[in-house]
A and B are shown apart, each in its own frame.
Chain A
């Protein structure tokens, strides 16, 4: 255990910077925000560097019983570490992306983002149930302001919808948390993760948590706030929303639903899988017909997050690790795609796909980055998208081949809508005068895109760096949920007359599915 409270410092740095930024002028606020987020990123690197892979499950543990009924308890495992890294990595990029795009009320904007950063780190680091809830819910306030003040034309509606949808989703979770804390006599998350709740209560508890995380994820059919919020939010707001906030849903399922209610999770596998499959197919089809770039990417987010739930509820190592990599990868890729939209939106001030075309001619560098992220979103081997989706589909196949079959069509549809988007924006005739006059990326935009591109390729080529810290934690989770693991259809066949043949077929077939 470290004596230096690194996690508290990582939460405090943006908070202090937010308070300072609020009282300065625009230029200073920008620089304060950038420096603070970079400092936090540096602290994040220190966190990763000092994280002992294969060491204790919970590291950097801090606990101060400050608040009576709950404690200021922080600590991370490998999964939380990776998600914290994702948050602190994206934040400086967000600040840079808003450098010129945000002109009015800059100090408040930067303060809202910095506040958001502390809350995000807090969510992933919290080790107390109620501390988690406070961080989780508190994110509503800055995001509400970000969408409402700096958003697009229909921002008011979007901000209301975002706020009320997510609030309604999570209030029941609070009641469930209270019941759990009273039942177990502790609000300590690691304790609760090993507490066996009575099976009959688990179903209700699971549903209460699921309501919150499904909205946050978002899962079909409670995803409708997402396209509105994404479209209306400023670029950096969309980046944070897609990059980190959606991951809170997946993180919640992983941290609470699966280990705390294993039996109920198994019981609700058909529900989760059903909703995820609808999401994969339906939202992909919806994405195909969008005329608004941000909306298209928003729907693609819903489809991608469905791969997370499919992987998580596959109840096996490949599925869960795959889900985690999809979360990280989607965090980078969706963020990058929103930044790509932001780059051209800043020039033409429209998100209408039909207004663009032929950008590959006059913005070749931009087109290259956009292509890379498009391919990563499709899941081309060599990019981060491939690793996650492939693993999560293998996991799904092991659990249920029909799920894997339907989910795989999502990859094909994903390729369809992303390539169609790319064709309409980057290829074709450069026949619009204002589009032709758009300059290629400037230095600042390079600075935004290049790091994400590098990490996307890194994760695609050598995912071990990212999976290694999480491996032991996935193992712990698997050991915890093994007793409830529902029998998959593939395993059923294993018990049949020709076990050797069946065992040989399964990996081959899974491999074949994944390559589509």
Chain B
């Protein structure tokens, strides 16, 4: 394979890397005045990178990087989530601390760099490129978490994320080193061959550590503790980003690793995944009940949803992986929608409000926002006819197909626990009397547009997209088998 071919296959990452570096220079010279232009340029870059996903499929750089339908599907979701997180940021930072300093120009660039890392994660064909991609994403994410320097909560979130993220990276790296030590290779193909030859204690330990590191990155129980704190502390647009794109990347990376590299050890990792799945759905349901902060609530909601997505991975079949991908696609749309709704929560001076009780009576003051919020909540809870039901359906269907009936039965029963707090939010919005500190109606065209589009996508209209989604996710999942 020639160098040129390899470069062609990695075109999406190249576009983003070069673009990000050029924009960094622009930001260096033009300063924060150019934030708006840089933001739009970044979105454009993400769009171009998305288009270049069509540039062919294959293995690049001697197996380090794979461009296939699976990677393309994940990257489309990642770029969409990243683009949305860039677009919703300016107004938040404009109003957030009251000083009206606005958004610094580094924000979209950091997101672009994170996207490069995430692209590497889902495309990795080797433990080394996987780890480098993961770190590139994480380093950008640590900075983003503490992006509001004047806010102590934001700084705290950044620090926590950094310390715990470093710990997770350490666990993952330790696992990788064990795997390397006992298989003699870091390439997925080689690992798959070695695991196919039989399990040994060393390989098993390596597998456990690698999966623990992955669980941390997707914030699955018992490695979820950082999630609520980081989600709460980080600025809301950043939280939107954390809850969507890196989740897709980490899940995509985990799925690829589990199926491509360790597919023959499925019996081993299946136990880990089943435990993580059920523990996440239960804890994500129970722990959210008493939350008063909407961002913490959504953090637990993301833990809950990751648990359901893992049920598809536990099935381990092509249908199961396709279900995970569909789940991620719908989850990203729901998450972005609900965080855009959270962004609308502001007091009279425009400062963000995060108390759930501030939503009381929202249906009176802002019926459109209230309806969108309710749609997202019911959808996250997986109540039909909203589209959030469909991915849940698919993961359970996949689990039932391989005979994991107890898992499916327990898993679906835990979804009722989660339903409680989702309908509690709806109750506060629709049933309660309006709160005294009413929120001011102010939303930009971008935010309203994004909210409407995502709400329509998860409304029953979404069901019409099932055939397309099924084809695409099926093709993506097929690339791994």
Residue among A68, A69, A159 having the largest count of chain B Cβ atoms under 10 Å: A68
Complex: A302 Cα to B211 Cα, angstroms: 51
Q: Does A501 contact B (CB under 8 A)?
A: no
Q: Does B250 contact A (CB under 8 A)?
A: no
* Contact segment of B23-31, B274-282, B332-340, B411-419: B411-419
Q: Is the CB of A175 within 8 A of B383?
A: no
Given contacts A69-B470, A149-B430, contact A167 B416 (CB under 8 A): yes
- Dominant SS among interface residues on chain B: helix
Q: Mark B372-415, 1 if CB is under 8 A from A, else 0.
A: 00000010000111000100011011001100010011001101
List residues of chain B with CB within 8 A of the CB of A167.
Answer: 383, 416, 419
List residues of chain A with CB within 8 A of the CB of B427.
Answer: 148, 156, 159-160
* Contact segment of B41-49, B58-66, B460-468: B460-468
List residues of chain B with CB within 8 A of the CB of A69.
Answer: 393-394, 397, 466, 470
List residues of chain A with CB within 8 A of the CB of B393.
Answer: 69, 130, 174, 178
Q: Does A420 contact B (CB under 8 A)?
A: no
List residues of chain B with CB within 8 A of the CB of A135.
Answer: 385
Q: Mark A141-153, 1 if CB is under 8 A from B, else 0.
A: 1001100110000
Q: Does B481 contact A (CB under 8 A)?
A: no
Q: Does A16 contact B (CB under 8 A)?
A: no
Given contacts A145-B430, A178-B397, A182-B400, contact A67 B409 (CB under 8 A): no
List residues of chain A with CB within 8 A of the CB of B467.
Answer: 66-68
- Dominant SS among interface residues on chain A: helix
> B447 to chain A: closest CB distance in Å?
21
Q: Does B423 contact A (CB under 8 A)?
A: yes
B417-446 with Cβ < 8 A to chain A: 419-420, 423, 426-427, 430-431
Given contacts A67-B467, A149-B431, contact A178 B419 (CB under 8 A): no
Complex: A26 Cα to B393 Cα, angstroms: 38
List residues of chain B with CB within 8 A of the CB of A174.
Answer: 393, 396, 412
> A18 to chain B: closest CB distance in Å?
12
> B428 to chain A: closest CB distance in Å?
10
> B267 to chain A: closest CB distance in Å?
22
Given contacts A68-B467, A69-B466, A178-B397, contact A171 B430 (CB under 8 A): no
Q: Is the CB of A141 within 8 A of B383?
A: yes
Residue among A66, A108, A133, A134 having the largest count of chain B Cβ atoms under 10 Å: A134
List residues of chain B with CB within 8 A of the CB of A168.
Answer: 413, 416
> B12 to chain A: closest CB distance in Å?
29
Complex: A134 Cα to B384 Cα, angstroms: 5
Q: Is the CB of B423 within 8 A of A144?
A: yes
Q: Is the CB of B400 within 8 A of A67?
A: no
Given contacts A167-B419, A171-B415, contact A178 B396 (CB under 8 A): yes
Q: Is the CB of B463 within 8 A of A66?
A: yes
> B390 to chain A: closest CB distance in Å?
9
Complex: A149 Cα to B412 Cα, angstroms: 28
Q: Which residue of chain B lies nearest to A182 when distances are taken between CB atoms in the complex? A: B401
List residues of chain A with CB within 8 A of the CB of B400.
Answer: 175, 178-179, 182
List residues of chain A with CB within 8 A of the CB of B431.
Answer: 148-149, 155-156, 159
Given contacts A134-B389, A174-B393, A182-B400, contact A68 B466 (CB under 8 A): yes
Q: Does A137 contact B (CB under 8 A)?
A: yes
Q: What are the 8 closest A-B residue pairs judged by CB atoms, nearest first?
A: A134-B384, A138-B385, A171-B412, A178-B400, A148-B431, A68-B466, A168-B416, A67-B466
A172-B412, A174-B412 known; 18 new pairs, CB 8 Å cut-off, are: A66-B464, A67-B466, A68-B467, A69-B470, A134-B384, A138-B384, A138-B385, A145-B426, A148-B431, A149-B430, A156-B431, A163-B423, A164-B419, A167-B383, A171-B412, A171-B413, A178-B401, A182-B401
Residue ranges of B at the interface with A (Cβ–Cβ < 8 Å): 363-364, 367, 378, 383-385, 389, 393-394, 396-397, 400-401, 405, 408-409, 412-413, 415-416, 419-420, 423, 426-427, 430-431, 463-464, 466-467, 470
CB<8 Å pairs between A and B, sample of 27: A67-B463, A68-B466, A68-B467, A69-B393, A69-B466, A105-B363, A137-B389, A138-B383, A141-B378, A144-B426, A145-B426, A148-B431, A149-B431, A156-B427, A160-B420, A160-B423, A164-B423, A167-B383, A168-B416, A171-B413, A171-B416, A172-B412, A174-B393, A174-B412, A178-B396, A178-B397, A182-B400
Residue ranges of A at the interface with B (Cβ–Cβ < 8 Å): 66-69, 105, 108, 130, 133-135, 137-138, 140-141, 144-145, 148-149, 155-156, 159-160, 163-164, 167-168, 171-172, 174-175, 178-179, 182
